Amino acid sequence: MSNYRICEYFYPDNIKSWWTLKINIYAIIIALVFLSQSLGTKGVLRFILELGVGMSISSVIDKLYFDVHTFTFSDIIMIFTTLCFTSYQYYRNGKRHK
């Protein structure tokens, strides 16, 4: 309910920006939930949770800076970057702490 008030405060007359902000708030909350759950985990579960964090952050970046209605080259770059960073974190930390 509080995200409704936040959106109303920033965009009382612009419905498109209002919905974009609302969806970005949800994506940030989801990223924080994934991040909080990944802190105490190890191995493959941590890989999956960190992948969720990366995809949620990519979603926010995509909505703020790129076109969200079509699948563009920037989407491929964000997915590839998320997979590379998550894989790097898994192999750096995950292999040692299985």
Query: pLDDT by residue (tens digit) across 10-57?
Result: 788 888 888 888 888 888 888 888 888 878 788 888 888 888 888 888
pLDDT the model gives residue 14: 83
Half-sphere exposure of 70 (CA within 13 A, CB side): 3
Q: Are 90 and 41 in contact (CB under 8 A)?
A: no
Contact between 74 and 62 under an 8 Å Cβ cutoff? The reply is yes
pTM: 0.73
Q: What Å distances lie between residue 83 and 21, 88, 96, CA to CA?
A: 26, 8, 19
Q: For residue 78, give the amino acid letter.
A: M
| Beta-sheet strands, E only, within 1-98 | none
